[in-house]
Structure 1
Amino acid sequence: MAEIKLIALDLDGTLLNENKDLSEENLWALKECIARGIYIVPATGRTVYGIPEPVKNIPGVRYAITINGGKVVDMEENNIISSSLMTPEQTIEIMEMAEKYPVMYDAYVEGRGVSEARFMNHLDDYGLSEGVQKIIKSTRQIYPNIIEEIRKGGRMVDKMCIFFTDKKLREEIRQLLNKRGDVLVSSSMGNNLEINGLGATKGGGLLNLAAHLGLSREETMAFGDGENDITMIKQAGLGVAMGNAAPFLKEIADYITVSNEEDGVAAAIRKFVLK
């Protein structure tokens, strides 16, 4: 196995525990890697602004794969290394379709979440955990009408999300979106869909960043637990699934560590990197 020089880490369900906290054991492992010159890279469906401060503020954490690979960013220089975004027209079409169903939707524009009061005041209706609700409330800007805001702004959209109370409806809308052929659909929770522009995958983001840093695929390691981590686990030189990961991710991983509640990230880093 090649020497690992870059480690990409999904956050929710992977690096963070169920309370959305970074454990001391995982923090120690990340700092030890950085001290050895290894790049530690958050790889998340969130924007840069949604990366928790305890992770983003670790000295040496400079790069991030955000919005499911839609943007790879240099946080120190505030530069975008690669991007695959949605057009305003695509986003508005999907939102107007979503309006026909009992769902909640929002979007991210230039790293900021945009939502409406009619959604934010009813987060409990969508079975969102207290931790997820806290993240949503802290990362959304409220507008009277999201569609009109996007139409008026005319800016490219990072990604959009749709939240459901009905899993059957979730699959129905997923099929409708897949038939479009101009967006990528994934999920990070059992009750949501995340819609990105074509080319936006964590795996693609990982390879783009590795190329930017002059590294080979074999020198990368990635951790994940869910559907939006599939491409990253496949593309990495060493793909690690968490003990709490979905069965389909465990099937394609090179290694399965213990769960996020048992510091699975630190355990695998000790085994393969800090040996």
Structure 2
Amino acid sequence: MADIKLIALDMDGTLLNRDHEVTDYTKEVIGKALNQGVQVVLSTGRWLESCYPYAESLQLQSFLVTCNGGEIWTMNKELVEQHLLKTEDIEKMWHLAIEMGVSPWMISTTELFHNNRPDDFYTHEWLKFGCNSNDMGKLDDFNKELSYMEGLELTNSLPTNVEVNPEGVSKSRALRRVCKELGITMENVLACGDSLNDIKMIQDAGVGVAMGNAQEAIKKVANHVTDTNNNDGVAKAIEKYVL
């Protein structure tokens, strides 16, 4: 049995079911882990305001990894670490997405823009850029164009999107900082996820768990494949490796 002291959970497609809810069963299991002194950290592509209510309802106690590791927050909403994209890159990616017919969205330090843009990109600080399309050819072409730009980290949270952070930013890197703050190592981490933005933390964790609904690449690198997000896969993984 691994010596798990921290559970890192992706949200969409992992902790949350198809209705974007945490089931009562999963809440109960997370509560048991917390009562045993195990920290639980949401490690998500979401920005702070869209994940904090879930953390609060679960009575989490330590840190939040948001925007794929672009920010780390305490549960008191104190900013621990932040990594920003260049505004000129955000503006360039926006125009490129429109030209190529993919649906852009962006997260600044204060708000989410979805299929719209600010009047002036330079009045904001930018954490993350993304775009969606059901046309995989368009996504591949967009990815190819981004490969010519320097200083970017490309990933996804669904097969139908591309997500962009500053180069080197990942959930794994952020979790290493969290571990340092808590006086533990990645060997003490159980990480659960389903998409490419989870792959590094699953590879680097003491126990890396892919959801039953995960992308195949995630299942290949994981130590364990649990049930799907609609069948309490997170709770079952915690019961197997922690409780």
TM-score, normalised to structure 1, is 0.83
Q: Does 1:150 align with 2:121?
A: yes
2:130 pairs, out of 152, 161, 172, with 161
The answer to whether the 8 A contact 2:104-2:129 is kept is yes
Unaligned segments of structure 1, at least 5 residues? 120-142
- Out of 19-28 and 92-101, give the one that drifted further: 92-101
Q: Does 1:233 align with 2:232?
A: no
The answer to whether the 8 A contact 1:178-1:184 is kept is no
Query: Alignment partner of 2:41: what SS?
Result: strand
Aligned amino acid, residue 101 of structure 1? M
Alpha-carbon separation, structure 2, partners of 1:184 and 1:55: 26
Q: Does 1:244 align with 2:199?
A: no
5 Å-filtered alignment, 1:1-275, equals: 1-51=1-51, 53-76=53-76, 78-115=77-114, 119=115, 145-146=117-118, 148-151=119-122, 153=123, 155-274=124-243
TM-superposed CA distance for 1:195, in Å, is: 1.0
Aligned amino acid, residue 149 of structure 2? R
Aligned amino acid, residue 111 of structure 2? R
Aligned amino acid, residue 114 of structure 1? F
Aligned amino acid, residue 9 of structure 2? L
Aligned amino acid, residue 221 of structure 2? I
Q: Deviations for 1:46-81, whole angstroms, at most 9, x for unmatched residues?
A: 0011116344332234311110111111131x2222
After TM superposition, what 4+ stretches of structure 1 lie above 3 angstroms from structure 2? none
Alpha-carbon separation, structure 2, partners of 1:215 and 1:52: 24
Q: Deviations for 1:197-217, whole angstroms, at most 9, x for unmatched residues?
A: 112111111111111211111
Q: Deviations for 1:131-179, whole angstroms, at most 9, x for unmatched residues?
A: xxxxxxxxxxxx6x43x3322x1x4301011122421010111111123
Alpha-carbon separation, structure 2, partners of 1:107 and 1:196: 11
Aligned amino acid, residue 227 of structure 1? L
Unaligned segments of structure 2, at least 5 residues? none
TM-superposed CA distance for 1:255, in Å, is: 1.0
Query: Alignment partner of 1:81: what SS?
Result: strand
The answer to whether the 8 A contact 1:207-1:235 is kept is no
TM-superposed CA distance for 1:183, in Å, is: 0.6
Aligned amino acid, residue 84 of structure 1? H
User: In the alignment, what sits opposite 1:131?
Assistant: none
The answer to whether the 8 A contact 2:154-2:163 is kept is yes
Q: Deviations for 1:71-124, whole angstroms, at most 9, x for unmatched residues?
A: 111131x22222222021221121122231222212111142024xxx3xxxxx
Aligned amino acid, residue 159 of structure 1? K
The answer to whether the 8 A contact 1:47-1:111 is kept is no
TM-score, normalised to structure 2, is 0.94
Q: How many residues align?
A: 243
The answer to whether the 8 A contact 1:84-1:199 is kept is no
Alpha-carbon separation, structure 2, partners of 1:111 and 1:260: 29
TM-superposed CA distance for 1:2, in Å, is: 4.2
Q: CA RMSD in A?
A: 1.6
Alpha-carbon separation, structure 2, partners of 1:101 and 1:243: 33
